[in-house]
């Protein structure tokens, strides 16, 4: 799949939960990384940055390589902010779709005025220095998930999921099928049908799955 706008459009109609389900309940970044600003589902290919504690040099360097439509995925340890209002302005100028930080950000009041969804572990006023060591376009290990430049990110109110670029086509197709199945189930239950009589994602009726699993 190479039509980036079409891929983004298909993923934006789905959810992070659907993407994780389509990956076999895998790919979610830690739940502490939550949406601090933005709405809806955002999707795009990642560009990665690993920051040394207390320096945003890798984030700044990533701007030289980033292209419109990408999602910056940055990682940095300690009680430091690795993204703020000025980096936010540059991200908008470049045309980034969103920013995901395995760490902290700052300047939320100003960031909230930008059309740039922000996902992070939280905020702190303590900003990092613009100089120091760091790496761009390197694999990141975030919780149980690996994120590489070119992998796709799907993020919404529930959190952030990574889809390996080589699995993208299959995962999108599975996620679309799961979304359609669950939407139909949602409607049937609201119309009076028991949830336990509905099929799970693999087609197994939930009541039968409970019994076969030994639940009492």
Given the DSSP bridges, would you call strands 98-102 and 118-120 parallel, antiparallel or unpaired?
Answer: parallel
- pLDDT at position 210 is 83
From the options 3.10.350.10, 3.50.30.40, 3.40.50.300, 3.30.1360.40, give the CATH code of 4-164: 3.50.30.40
Model pTM? 0.92
Q: Which residues are bridge partners to 162 per DSSP?
A: 153
Residues 172 and 126: their CA atoms lie apart, in Å, by 39
Decide: residue 39, CB within 10 A, 0-12 exposed, 13-18 middle, 19+ buried: exposed
CA distance 147 to 61: 18
Please give the average per-residue pLDDT across 151-157, as a whole number: 98
The mean pLDDT of 133-153, rounded to a whole number, is 97
Give every CB contact of residue 132 below 8 A, 6+ residues apart in sequence.
52, 54, 55, 57
Whole-angstrom distance, CA of residue 22 vs CA of residue 175: 5
The sign one gets for the Cα dihedral 112, 51, 160, 62 is positive
Q: What average pLDDT does the segment 175-179 reach?
A: 95
Q: Does residue 51 surpass a pLDDT of 50?
A: yes
Q: 104-105 and 122-123 as β-strands: parallel, antiparallel, unpaired? A: parallel
- Please count the helices (runs of H) and the strands (runs of E) in the chain: 7, 12
> Domain boundaries in the chain?
4-164, 171-212
Percentage of the chain exceeding pLDDT 70: 97
Q: Evaluate if residue 214 carries a pLDDT over 80.
A: no
Q: Closest by alpha carbon to 46, among 71, 16, 12?
A: 71
* pLDDT at residue 20, as a whole number: 97
Runs of H (alpha helix) within the chain: 4-12, 16-22, 57-62, 85-94, 108-111, 168-190, 206-212
pLDDT digits (tens, 9 = 90+) for 96-128: 999 999 999 999 999 999 999 999 999 999 999
Q: Which residue(s) pair with 153 in the sheet?
A: 44, 162
Q: How far is CA 147 from the centre of its chain?
A: 10
The predicted structure's pLDDT at residue 215: 52
What confidence tens digit (pLDDT) does each residue in 191-213 have? Answer: 999 999 898 887 789 888 888 76
* Sign, CA torsion 39/122/179/153: positive
């Amino acid at each position: 799949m190479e039509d980036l706008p079409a891929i983004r459009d298909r993923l934006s109609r789905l959810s992070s939960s659907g993407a994780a389900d389509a990956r076999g309940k895998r790919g979610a970044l830690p739940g502490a990384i939550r949406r601090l600003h933005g709405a809806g589902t955002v999707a795009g290919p990642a560009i990665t940055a690993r920051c040394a504690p207390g320096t945003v040099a890798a984030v700044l360097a990533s701007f030289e390589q980033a292209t419109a439509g990408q999602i910056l995925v940055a990682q940095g340890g300690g009680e430091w902010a690795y993204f703020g209002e000025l980096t936010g302005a540059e991200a908008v100028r470049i045309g980034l779709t969103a920013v995901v930080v395995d760490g902290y950000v700052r300047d939320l009041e100003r960031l909230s005025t930008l059309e740039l969804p922000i996902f992070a572990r939280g905020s702190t006023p303590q900003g990092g220095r613009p100089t120091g060591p760091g790496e761009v376009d390197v694999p990141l290990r975030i919780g149980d998930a690996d994120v590489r430049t070119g992998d796709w990110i799907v993020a919404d109110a529930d959190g952030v999921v990574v889809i390996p670029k080589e699995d993208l086509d299959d995962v999108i197709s599975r996620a679309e099928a799961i979304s359609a199945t669950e939407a139909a189930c949602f409607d049937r239950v609201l119309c009076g049908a028991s949830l336990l009589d509905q099929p799970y994602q693999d087609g197994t009726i939930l009541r039968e799955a409970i019994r076969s699993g030994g639940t009492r």
